[in-house]
Amino acid sequence: MAGNAFVHCELSADDLGAAKKFYKKLFDWKLSDMGPEMGNYTLIDVGKKSSGGGMAKKMMPGQPTAWLSYVQLASVKKTMAKAEKAGAKAVVPFQEIGGMGAIGIFVDPQGAALGVWERTETVKKKGKKKKHKKK
């Protein structure tokens, strides 16, 4: 991979139902609820092979209502260590996401939050896509 691409963008909101209703009316997005086993996360399908996104209720106190972008890379753990060494503050140092991969979230020295994403080898090799209930 030449450089690290932005691959995902997600919204954290207090009222997820209202957010889904607003964005579904505004854009031509298909929303898929992943259910309680995946934290009631909603995937955004933009109908292309480009980046989609997701929506979720805020996960921690003080979390702003905001969109957060994710950059794909080879190792969340190595990148988070590198970011912290450069002055960033880890918010989510490492979290596995089902059998799909792992994320990390940090706030840079200027105060901007950014997520990092690492796909699992299983997903990389098989290229499987799990079907989700469309809403």
Q: Where are the domains of the chain?
A: 1-65, 73-126
The pLDDT value given to residue 122: 52
The pLDDT value given to residue 128: 47
The pLDDT value given to residue 98: 84
The pLDDT value given to residue 16: 93
3-state secondary structure of 66: strand
The pLDDT value given to residue 84: 98
Query: Does the CA dihedral 12-18-24-26 come out positive or negative?
Result: negative
Q: Per residue in 85-97, pLDDT tens?
A: 999 999 999 999 9
pTM of the full structure: 0.81
Among 23, 41, 134, 25, which residue's Cα sits nearest to residue 95?
Answer: 41
The pLDDT value given to residue 129: 47
The pLDDT value given to residue 68: 96
Q: Residue 89 belongs to what H/E stretch?
A: strand 89-97
CATH 3.10.180.10 fits 1-65, yes or no: yes
Please give the Cα distance from 44 to 28 (Å, whole number).
Answer: 10
Ranges of residues in the chain whose predicted pLDDT is under 70:
1-2, 49-51, 122-135
| Alpha-helix runs per DSSP H in the chain | 16-26, 76-85, 121-126
Which CATH topology does 73-126 take? 2,3-Dihydroxybiphenyl 1,2-Dioxygenase; domain 1 (3.10.180)
State the amino acid at position 116 in one-letter form.
V
